[in-house]
Amino acid sequence: MAFVTTTDLIPLIPELILLGAAFVVLLLDLFAPGSQRTTLAVTTIVGFVIALVAEIQLLDSGATGFYGTIVADGFSILFESLYLVIGILTVLLSLHYLDDHGIGFGEYYVLLITAVVGMMFMTSSLELLVIFIGLEIMSISSYILVGIRRRVPESNEAALKYLLLGAFSTGFLLYGISLLYGATGSIRIPEIVVALQEPGALNNPLAIIGVALIIIAMGFKVAVVPFHMWTPDVYSGAPTPVTAFLSAAAKAAGFAMFVRVLLTGIPLEAELWKDLFWAIAVLTMTVGNVMALMQNSVKRMLAYSSVAHAGYIMVAVVVGTPAALSSVIFYSCAYAVMGTGAFGILTVRHFGKTPDSYDDLAGYARYKPCLAFLMSVFMLSLIGLPLTGGFIGKLQIFQAALEEGWVWLTVIGLLNSALSVYYYLRVVVCLYMREGSVPDGAVLEVAESPGFALTGLVGAASVVVYLGVFPQTLLELAASSVSTLF
């Protein structure tokens, strides 16, 4: 009796490819110690690219497997491709950073791959068990990645905070799942949905508490207020490429899970949940922006601003229409690319020092004009100026909100994005308007920037501009992938 056939594995092909790549990298690192770190990085990238090709092949296949537990619908393929792209970008940004900081572990790349695999399982599964396992694969890998600079107290501390709070929130998630299981008798989303659509099912306190606990745990993963407290500490303590990866891919994965589990599955049309999300969205935007304003470290500012961006996405979550959900997808993609880019600039050393405070950015226009320009592009996109992906993303969200009559929410969102200009602009001012002095004894690097990183950053900036000028391709993809959810 065959429980599982090879056709069941089809939607898992990208995941399997990546796992293979992870083992190859691990074994390469183990048994060919002479191999250069570049080899490992290139192998990792090759793995990501092959998986990406596989994803694209799966598009329109509608493959499902394991009794419908794993699906390769438009939604999961779009998000999985995003993780892969961010993965590639992260590798490109890591190579020089690892060398600069003496992080000589081949495991770094392995963990990066497994984190992506975890996200992919999270996104493509319809069963809470598999989603939970995917979430944990991602989380455990990222705990280690955050703490991989094990001699650096900040890195250790960030890892500890991430681990303890992450595990804490996992407890809430599991408790929520167990209560939902008790209320509906299933852990498969389609069956849960059916059970909850019965009249009166949502009056069952077990179900309500279960859903609320799941919301809390997911709120932690996407870092919305008041579950955001870990974000700035972890993001600023982690190695910068890892920060970029977390802020982009892990957050996108969180929102994918949010949409999959809460918005298309469990019926949350009731005013109750709308009010809850409304409050969370407003708080998240405001707290994120206000705190970002207070920072002197650019990295920490970007960490808080990622909280604010989660708030904008929450606005779309409040609205909850298909148009709003597709704007969630668009904004996640746009933010992932621009956020990675912005953090990516901070991985490159300037006068022998990895930039951190605003002051460190002075003089970029003269000594690193290319990086200064790229950083400005990312900042303008984060502000949401036209011709960038950030503008289209915000426009989509607020337009969806307006169509449903959420005028006040839109106004608060606009005010917040006006507030964000203060601190993003400060970066540009430092890059262009301030003269950096060369510290005594600092060696001027001959090459402007490491080639791998520059490739990645230029690519990211191009995507940001492309999304601003020709957003229609992604918009259509997002809209069609949302339609597969219903």
Partner 1 sequence: MSQIWLVPAFPLLGFLLNGFFGKFFGKRFVTIIAPAAVGFAFLQSLVLFFEMRAADGHRLVETLYTWMATGSFQVDVAFQVDQLSGLYLLIITGVGFLIHVYSIGYMGAEAGYYRYFAFLNLFIFFMLVLVLGDSFLLMFVGWEGVGLCSYLLIGYYFEKHSAAEACKKAFLFNRVGDFGVLSAVMLIFVTFGTLNFNIVNAEAATQLESGGILVTVITLFLFLGATGKSAQIPLYVWLPDAMEGPTPVSALIHAATMVTAGLYMVARLSHLFVLAPFTMNMIAVIGAATALLAASIALTQTDIKRVLAYSTVSQLGYMFLALGVGAFTAGIFHVMTHAFFKALLFLGSGSVIHAMHHEQDMLRMGALRKKLPVTYLTMLMGTLAIAGIPFFSGFFSKDEILWKAFSSPLGGGGFWLIAFVTAGMTSFYMFRLIYLTFHGESRVDSHTAEHLHESPAVMTVPLVILAVLSVFGGFFGVPHVLNFLPNGMELYFKGFFAQVPETTPGSAAAEIGLMVASVLLAVIAWSLAHRYYSTSLDAVTALRNRLQTTYRLSLNKWYVDELYNAVIVQPGKLFSTFVLWKLIDQNIIDRLVLLPGNVARGVGSGLRLAQNGVLQSYALIFSLGAMLILGFVLL
Partner 2 sequence: MIPISHVLVLSALLFSIGVLGVMLRRNVIVVFMSIELMLNAVNLSFVGFARTMDDMTGVIFIFFIIVVAAAEAVVGLSIILSIYRTRKTLNIDEFNLLKW
Partner 3 sequence: MTITNDYLPILILILVGIGLAGMFTIIGLVVGPKLRTREKAAPFESGFLGKGMEGYRYDVKFFMTALVFLVFDVEIVFLYPWTVQIRELGWFGFVASMVFISVLVIGLAYDWKKGALEWE
Give residues in contact with partner 3 (CB under 8 A). 1-4, 23, 26-27, 30-31
Say whether residue 208 binds partner 2 (CB under 8 A).
no
What single-letter DSSP state applies at residue 70?
Answer: E
Q: How far is the CB of 142 from partner 1 (least distance, A)?
A: 17
Among partner 3, partner 2, partner 1, none, residue 56 binds (CB under 5-8 Å by kind): none
Closer to partner 1 by Cβ: residue 149 or 161: 161
Under a CB-based contact definition with an 8 Å cutoff, are residues 105 and 144 in contact?
no
Closer to partner 1 by Cβ: residue 13 or 421: 421
The Cα 461–Cα 21 span in angstroms is 28
Among partner 3, partner 2, partner 1, none, residue 152 binds (CB under 5-8 Å by kind): partner 2
Q: How far is the CB of 237 from partner 1 (least distance, A)?
A: 11
Under a CB-based contact definition with an 8 Å cutoff, are residues 63 and 57 in contact?
no
Q: What angle do CA 12, 60, 339 make, to 5 degrees?
A: 70
Binders of partner 2 among residues 13 to 72 (CB under 8 A) are none
The Cα 103–Cα 200 span in angstroms is 56
Q: Which stretch binds partner 2 (CB under 8 A): 13-21, 184-192, 278-286, 370-378?
A: 184-192
Closer to partner 1 by Cβ: residue 59 or 216: 216
Enumerate binding residues for partner 1 (CB under 8 A): 160-161, 164-165, 168-169, 172, 205, 208-209, 211-213, 215-216, 220, 225-227, 229-230, 232-233, 272-273, 275-276, 287, 289-291, 293-294, 323, 326-327, 365, 380, 385-387, 392, 395-396, 398-400, 402-403, 407, 410-411, 414-415, 418-419, 421-422, 425, 429, 432-435, 470-472, 475, 479
The Cα 88–Cα 470 span in angstroms is 23
Burial class (CB in 10 A: 0-12, 13-18, 19+), 300: buried
Say whether residue 185 binds partner 2 (CB under 8 A).
yes
Percentage helix, strand, coil for the chain under 3-state DSSP, each rounded to 5: 75, 0, 20
The Cα 215–Cα 411 span in angstroms is 25
Q: How far is the CB of 377 from partner 2 (least distance, A)?
A: 29
Closer to partner 3 by Cβ: residue 30 or 411: 30
Token digits for 240?
């910068």
What single-letter DSSP state applies at residue 406?
Answer: -
What is the distance, to the nearest Å, from the Cα of residue 39 to the centroid of all Cα atoms in its chain? Answer: 26
Sign of the alpha-carbon torsion through 104, 107, 109, 111: negative
Among partner 2, partner 3, partner 1, none, residue 53 binds (CB under 5-8 Å by kind): none
Task: Write out the H or E segment, with its range, that includes residue 65.
Answer: strand 64-65
| Terminal alpha carbon distance of the chain | 33
Q: How far is the CB of 171 from partner 3 (least distance, A)?
A: 18
What single-letter DSSP state applies at residue 71?
Answer: E
Closer to partner 2 by Cβ: residue 305 or 388: 305
What is the distance, to the nearest Å, from the Cα of residue 40 to the centroid of all Cα atoms in its chain? Answer: 24
Q: How far is the CB of 2 from partner 3 (least distance, A)?
A: 6
The Cα 456–Cα 279 span in angstroms is 37
Which residue in 4, 62, 99, 168 binds partner 2 (CB under 8 A)? Answer: 168
Query: Is 22 strand, coil or helix?
Result: helix
Q: How far is the CB of 30 from partner 3 (least distance, A)?
A: 5
Which residue in 152, 293, 395, 458 binds partner 2 (CB under 8 A)? Answer: 152
Closer to partner 3 by Cβ: residue 26 or 145: 26
Measured CA to CA in angstroms, residue 232 lies from 236, 259, 303, 314, 379 at distances of 6, 24, 5, 19, 19
Closer to partner 3 by Cβ: residue 2 or 446: 2
Q: How far is the CB of 107 from partner 3 (least distance, A)?
A: 9
Closer to partner 2 by Cβ: residue 226 or 439: 226
Question: How are beta strands 64-65 and 70-71 bridged, if at all?
Answer: antiparallel
Judged by the rule CB under 8 A, the positions of this chain that interact with partner 2 are 129, 132-133, 136, 140, 143-144, 147, 150-154, 156-161, 163-164, 167-168, 170-171, 174-175, 177-179, 181-182, 185-187, 232-233, 236-237, 294-295
